[in-house]
């Protein structure tokens, strides 16, 4: 038997509730202060917020529907299984796709990625996963409503290329460090 003591090394990457609420509550406090100083302009700012909310409501509804479909078809276990194996073009595609379809905050994925890294996943694949999180299919309706189809298409294609380059460079730097250590 061996007592690993692994639990003692567990690290919670999740964000506490107060940190999630701190930003919106801070903005509300700012509104209250500004309302005391300049009530008319603060009300205009609230009206502007109302217009932004209306503008984003329908695309967010579509985003929710796409999130539902993704959650129905893709489970976290699929992502971890995909990321843990595969090499060459297949491995690159899998870690990129896993990054694209991963949902939720980035820190929620740190324990899994760290575990995969310890099990042999390369720095390239971890960087590829993290960089491809910039492409979010379920948010495309929101982006199109704000910036149009042409921008959305070009932006996402170039972000994918940039993500691959980032992963290649980070992977190369990691390999170089490994060789220097050896």
Partner 1 sequence: MRIAVAATEADLDEGLVTRLGTCAYLLIVDSATLDFEAVPKPPYVAGAGGGIVAVTLAVEHDAHAIIARFIPPRMATALAENQMAVVTGVKGTVREAVRDYMQKGSTEAVPQPRPAMGALVRSARQFAAMLPVLVGVMLLAGLLKVFVPAEALTKVYPGAPVADAFSGACLGSIFGGNAVNSYVIGEALRGAGVSLFAVTAIMITWVTVGLVQLPAEMSAFGSRFAISRNAVAFVLAMPVALATVVLVRWLS
Site for partner 1 in 10-69 (CB under 8 A): 10-11, 13, 20-21, 23-28, 30-31, 34, 41-42, 44-50, 52-53, 56, 60, 63-64, 67-69
Q: Which residues contact 44 (CB under 8 A, 6 or more apart)?
A: none
Q: Which of 104, 103, 129 is nearest to 116 (CA)?
A: 129
Q: Give the nearer residue to partner 1 in terms of CB position, either 61 or 90.
A: 61
Interacting residues with partner 1 between 118 and 157 (CB under 8 A): 123, 126-127, 130-131, 133-134, 136, 139, 142-143, 146-147, 150-151, 154-155
Least separation in angstroms between residue 93's CB and partner 1 is: 19
**65-84: which residues touch partner 1 (CB under 8 A)?**
67-69, 71-72, 75-77
CA-CA-CA-CA dihedral for 35, 38, 44, 48, to nearest 10: -70
Distance CA 117, CA 135 (A): 22
Site for partner 1 in 85-114 (CB under 8 A): 103-107, 110-111, 113-114
Category of 88 on φ-ψ map: left (φ > 0), alpha (ψ -120 to 50) or beta: left
Residue 5 interacts with partner 1 (CB under 8 A): yes or no:
yes
Q: How far is CA 76 from the centre of its chain?
A: 14
Taking the alpha carbons of 134, 158, 145, 62 in that order, is the dihedral positive or negative? negative
In angstroms, give the least distance from the CB of 88 to partner 1: 22
Q: In the bound complex, what is the minimum distance in angstroms from residue 50's beta carbon to partner 1?
A: 8
């Amino acid at each position: 038997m061996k007592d690993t003591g692994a639990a003692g090394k567990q690290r919670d990457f999740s964000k506490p509730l107060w940190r999630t609420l701190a930003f919106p509550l801070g903005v509300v406090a700012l509104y209250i202060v500004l309302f005391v100083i300049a009530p008319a302009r603060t009300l205009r700012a609230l009206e502007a917020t109302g217009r932004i909310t209306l503008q984003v409501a329908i695309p967010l509804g579509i985003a929710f529907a796409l999130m539902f479909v993704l959650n129905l078809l893709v489970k976290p276990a699929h992502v971890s299984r995909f990321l843990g194996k595969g090499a060459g073009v297949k491995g690159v595609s899998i870690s990129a796709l896993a990054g694209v379809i991963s949902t939720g905050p980035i820190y929620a994925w740190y324990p899994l990625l760290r575990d995969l890294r310890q099990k042999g996943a390369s720095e390239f694949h971890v960087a590829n996963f993290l960089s491809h999180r910039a492409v979010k299919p379920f948010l495309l309706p929101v982006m199109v409503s704000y910036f149009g189809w042409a921008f959305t298409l070009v932006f996402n294609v170039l972000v994918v290329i940039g993500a691959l380059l980032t992963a290649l460079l980070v992977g190369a730097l990691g390999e170089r460090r490994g060789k220097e250590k050896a």
